[in-house]
Chain A
Amino acid sequence: MLDFPGAKAAFTSRMEFISPNAAEAVPCFRILDDLGRALDGSDIPEVDSSLAVKMYHTMVRLQTFDSIFYEAQRQGRISFYLTNIGEEALNVASAAALTKDDVVFPQYREHGVLMWRGFTLDEFANQCFSNEAGHGKGRQMPIHYGSEKLNYFTISSPIATQLPHAVGAAYGLKMDRKNACAVTYFGDGGSSEGDFHAACNFAAVLEAPVLFVCRNNGYAISTPACEQYKGDGIVVRGRGYGMTSIRVDGNDALAVFKAVSAARKLAVEQSKPVLIEAMTYRVGHHSTSDDSTKYRSGEEIAHWRSVRDPVLRFRRWLESNAWWSVEDEKELRGAARKEVISAMNQAEKKNKPPLSELFTDVYDTLPRNLLEQEATLRDTVSKNPPSLAPH
């Protein structure tokens, strides 16, 4: 038996290299088939009609918000937008499996998690229009949401920086003996960052209660997954770090709900990290700064948008339980559209944040140099044409 400090393993006299990939890829857990029917032998999680309908409502509201606000950017009403299309089930079902005390560290394509937790359409709209009602005080670009109250940490643009943050926060939760875990989301592209490696390794070594949820949606802007990594996706890396891991069908709301619930239990009860690779597809462009038809076919996009729509798949399951009808659908779609448009119009009309919020929150208390700068700025503004005056 090997007794080197680095590993405890048996010896072998046969030189055998481990092949780069196992004979078969890690299987992908699912409960519903592509048409929303429970597969034979499936163990359906405890999702009653009210929970299922609430999840569906949120998915539809998210889808509606995304499509209307994407168009708003195209019309020049906001500067930037990024959609979650194709990942609604992953967003909402994972959020539904968590408690409100679990702290979320998102990348940026997880608006559905925030919506589930209670961020209102007005709050979303206010942030996108960076008006004075937005709690963010107009500091961040659109879709960079954050809510201390809802335990959703303000979005940080650099990719994967939230991964070690989540581990640190998980450590804090463990020190405070809280019945909660940290949950962090990232994409297939984000898993290439150095921060991913550091966070995973650390989480395992520190025994931090954190869930790493990889939204493997096939693309990192234009880089397809086959150019992002050569291994079997992200799930196989878990074992490399000594971390429990699972691959799940991210477009199957029930499978996501079940896997995240189980992972959370493990993380909180045993204070261990868990890696969940949720396979999905990014139906929308990376953002409004991207035109993905330049690097993938229209047919591919259309296929995933229609036949493989996770929202439709979940709806089919609801209908099979007689929890949803065509009338319900018509009513919800109409109401959601109305609510989103109303939120948008109201947010657009509001004033932008006042000058008084330009210099606050740089430090805990306003330092003298910023007080001086503000005074100078106010002086300049008062002596100049009204277009400079921020009210």
Chain B
Amino acid sequence: MFPGIVRSSSRHLPCRRSLMTVRDALNSAIDEEMAADPKVFVMGEEVGEYQGAYKVTKGLLQKYGPDRVLDTPITEAGFTGIGVGAAFQGLKPIVEFMTFNFAMQAIDHIINSAAKTYYMSGGQIAVPIVFRGPNGAAAGVGAQHSQCFAAWYGSCPGLKVVTPYSAEDARGLLKAAIRDPDPVVFLENELLYGENFPVSSQVRDPNFTLPIGKAKVEREGTDVTITAFSKMVGFALKAADELAKDGIKAEVINLRSIRPLDRETINASVRKTYRLVAVEEGWPQHGVCAEVCASVQEETFDYLDAPIERISGADIPMPYAANLERLALPQIEDIVRAAKRACYRSK
């Protein structure tokens, strides 16, 4: 079998047996945590009979019954408030949003009821809840189905916000989120659900978790640091392959966690490479990259040999037409060009 964790899915052709899709990673994580703890339950639209809008909760209703897998009426505000109330009472709900775009109808409960209650109650009422679902752009779904919420939730004290990329991330971070006594916003990506990643037997272990708040260096390098999260990690890795052909060794950091943000790993990397390209799919203003830039500027200013580059989505609601959508989102070439700019290799 394969020894350890393979760093980049694009560089190996592992045996099929050790592959796992992100969807299966999420499904198995929820399944195992529900088996281990009777207080864990799932709620959301279409999660039960329909097996999940994206099949992430497939099989769970059959296995655990309708008491623990609740198909809810259509009211994000309603079922989010109910989930929070259940968490107040000591249960551990996993609330699924069909997409985080719809969670805006429930955002008062996520912020005012979930994020702030432990603090407001003087530490008396914990909220061990997980909010999960697809976030960011999919393909051809237009403005109201494509927004990235990482920056919004990432600014709120009281929340933890994680953004898995690989199957290993999905399993480890979701298990950690379910076990965490704090409210966790778990931002998935629809286009990653079907993607296969090699996983070790360690990752498949029912007690496998990843620490929330630690980034992962997906690929080591010496010339430029590229930070990314979720789907953009894949793009960053491909960009690194391109850059390698020109002799530029890029270090790719998978943030994994937006809040807490692993400033240490990011800054340690920039102290090694002296150059930074921060990548995200969402809007530029007040984005996650803005926080990454601020952190590096504050802590590692003297090491920087070039201004920090930010690559983000266009500052517009997402258009539908395929060509326009492609233009509105970061592409691998954009990351490559930014890295070269940072290395003074091109305009």
Name 14 A/B residue pairs within 8 A (Cβ), A-sorted.
A105-B85, A135-B122, A136-B120, A139-B122, A140-B120, A147-B124, A153-B88, A158-B112, A161-B109, A164-B79, A182-B85, A198-B77, A362-B158, A369-B263
Bound Cα distance from A306 to B84, whole angstroms: 42
By a CB distance below 8 angstroms, the chain B residues around A161 are: 81, 108-109, 112-113
By a CB distance below 8 angstroms, the chain B residues around A330 are: none
Cβ A368 vs Cβ B260 within 8 A? yes
- B119 contacts A by Cβ under 8 Å: yes
- A32 contacts B by Cβ under 8 Å: no
Distance in Å: Cβ of A114 to nearest Cβ of chain B: 14
- A390 contacts B by Cβ under 8 Å: no
A→B interface (CB under 8 Å): 103, 105, 134-137, 139-140, 144, 146-148, 153-154, 156-158, 161, 163-173, 175-176, 182, 194-195, 197-199, 201-202, 205-206, 360-364, 367-369
Cβ B124 vs Cβ A201 within 8 A? no
Distance in Å: Cβ of A45 to nearest Cβ of chain B: 29
* B interface size (C-beta, 8 A): 45
Cβ B122 vs Cβ A137 within 8 A? yes
By a CB distance below 8 angstroms, the chain A residues around B109 are: 161, 164
Cβ A363 vs Cβ B67 within 8 A? no
Which residues, 243 to 278 on B, are CB-close (under 8 Å) to A?
260, 263
CB within 8 Å for A364 and B181 given contacts A146-B124, A199-B78, A202-B75: yes
By a CB distance below 8 angstroms, the chain B residues around A202 are: 72-73, 75, 78-79, 82
Cβ A168 vs Cβ B77 within 8 A? no
By a CB distance below 8 angstroms, the chain A residues around B160 are: 363
Cβ A156 vs Cβ B77 within 8 A? no
Cβ B125 vs Cβ A175 within 8 A? no
Bound Cα distance from A208 to B137, whole angstroms: 37
Residue picked from B41, B70, B91, most chain A C-beta under 10 Å: B91
B→A interface (CB under 8 Å): 41, 67, 70, 72-73, 75, 77-91, 93, 108-109, 112-113, 117-126, 157-158, 160, 180-182, 213, 260, 263
- A160 (CB) vs chain B CBs: closest residue: B81
Which residue of B83, B91, B113, B180 contacts A156 across the interface (Cβ within 8 Å)? B113
By a CB distance below 8 angstroms, the chain A residues around B213 are: 367
CB within 8 Å for A175 and B91 given contacts A139-B119, A146-B121, A364-B126: yes
Which residue of B90, B108, B260 contacts A172 across the interface (Cβ within 8 Å)? B90
Cβ A168 vs Cβ B88 within 8 A? yes
Distance in Å: Cβ of A56 to nearest Cβ of chain B: 31
Bound Cα distance from A72 to B322, whole angstroms: 64
Distance in Å: Cβ of A80 to nearest Cβ of chain B: 15
Cβ B78 vs Cβ A169 within 8 A? no
By a CB distance below 8 angstroms, the chain A residues around B123 are: 137, 360-361
Cβ A148 vs Cβ B89 within 8 A? no
CB within 8 Å for A165 and B85 given contacts A139-B121, A146-B124: yes
Distance in Å: Cβ of A229 to nearest Cβ of chain B: 20
Which residue of A154, A167, A195, A205 contacts B121 across the interface (Cβ within 8 Å)? A154
By a CB distance below 8 angstroms, the chain B residues around A157 are: 112
Distance in Å: Cβ of A24 to nearest Cβ of chain B: 32
CB-CB nearest 6 A-B residue pairs: A198-B78, A168-B85, A164-B81, A165-B85, A172-B89, A168-B86
Cβ B119 vs Cβ A194 within 8 A? no
Cβ B85 vs Cβ A164 within 8 A? yes
CB within 8 Å for A198 and B75 given contacts A168-B83, A168-B85, A175-B67: yes
By a CB distance below 8 angstroms, the chain B residues around A105 are: 85
CB within 8 Å for A363 and B182 given contacts A161-B112, A169-B89: yes
Residue picked from A156, A157, A163, most chain B C-beta under 10 Å: A156
By a CB distance below 8 angstroms, the chain B residues around A172 are: 85-86, 89-91
Bound Cα distance from A202 to B84, whole angstroms: 14
Distance in Å: Cβ of A377 to nearest Cβ of chain B: 15
Cβ A361 vs Cβ B119 within 8 A? yes
Which residue of B41, B81, B124 contacts A165 across the interface (Cβ within 8 Å)? B81
Cβ B88 vs Cβ A169 within 8 A? yes
Distance in Å: Cβ of A194 to nearest Cβ of chain B: 5
By a CB distance below 8 angstroms, the chain B residues around A154 are: 117, 120-121, 124-125
- A169 (CB) vs chain B CBs: closest residue: B89
Bound Cα distance from A170 to B82, whole angstroms: 9
